[in-house]
Amino acid sequence: MYPTSSGPILTNLKKLLKLKKTMRKKFLFLILISLIFGVLLVRGVLAVSATLKGEITDDGGDPNLLVWFEYGTTQGYGWTTPVQEKYGSGEFTYTLSGLQECVTYHYRACAKHKNYNDPGCGQDQTFTTPCSVQVDLKANGSDGSITLSYSNRTVNLSWSSQYADFCQASGDWSGSKSTSGSEQITLSTPKTYHFNLTCKNYSTGVEKSDSVEVILQTPGAPKVITKGVVLTY
């Protein structure tokens, strides 16, 4: 009878497979935490969409991958994008829509091998959606239409704005204006005046307008009295 060594060979084979599996998991994890994220671009009114970008720099030897993003308003995330199949290294993206304005979001890219339960995610990143421009224009401290007598025909226009880079006047006044300030205007002709102010954010292109109406009355009727006569001889 010949001696057999199947026992030791089988034991060594199991150890080798276990080591290989451990190294593969460890290697994949190191790849995923060093994911390269692209720049997040947000454009348009109220910044309702954003494109997330991630990259697999090494597939760990198995190119059959599943990739996705986790995102939310905290590092607990809370939302997950649909899982996409990906073959090998390279970039992957997903466009989010319906985002709230003026909110900071956290996100990270994640991946796993399609045939193994070995998920891993990259580092946490953040972005803030632009805030909608706000502008408030007042005439003598009022938002509504005001009426001035002709004898008191100087109006004080005051305004303030948020998330704007510049403002432009139109209607019965004109010129570039600061994002907040005041200006006194003496009216001349009795009529209804319309003062408009539009403020804009350069980076997003978002703008907002406000206006006030000022009515200048006609001069009052002259007051006249009849005085005594002076006779000359």
- Say what the pLDDT of residue 233 is: 86
- Say what the pLDDT of residue 49 is: 81
pLDDT tens-digit series, residues 178-198: 999 999 999 999 999 999 999
> CA distances (Å), 29 to each of 92, 176, 202, in order?
18, 55, 41
- Say what the pLDDT of residue 141 is: 96
- Say what the pLDDT of residue 46 is: 52
pTM, two decimals, is 0.61
- Say what the pLDDT of residue 205 is: 81
Weakly modelled stretches of the chain, pLDDT under 50: 1-5, 13, 16-17, 19-45, 47
C-alpha span between 96 and 98 (Å, rounded): 7
> Exposed, middle or buried: residue 76 (CB in 10 Å: 0-12, 13-18, 19+)?
exposed
Domains of the chain, first to last: 22-128 (2.60.40.10), 134-216 (2.60.40.10)
Among positive and negative, which fits the CA dihedral 171, 176, 178, 184? Answer: negative
- Say what the pLDDT of residue 114 is: 95
Query: Residue 6 forms beta bridges with which residues?
Result: none
Residues 128-160 as b/e (b if ≥16 CB within 10 A, e otherwise) read ebbbbbebbbbbeeeeeebebeeeebebebbbb
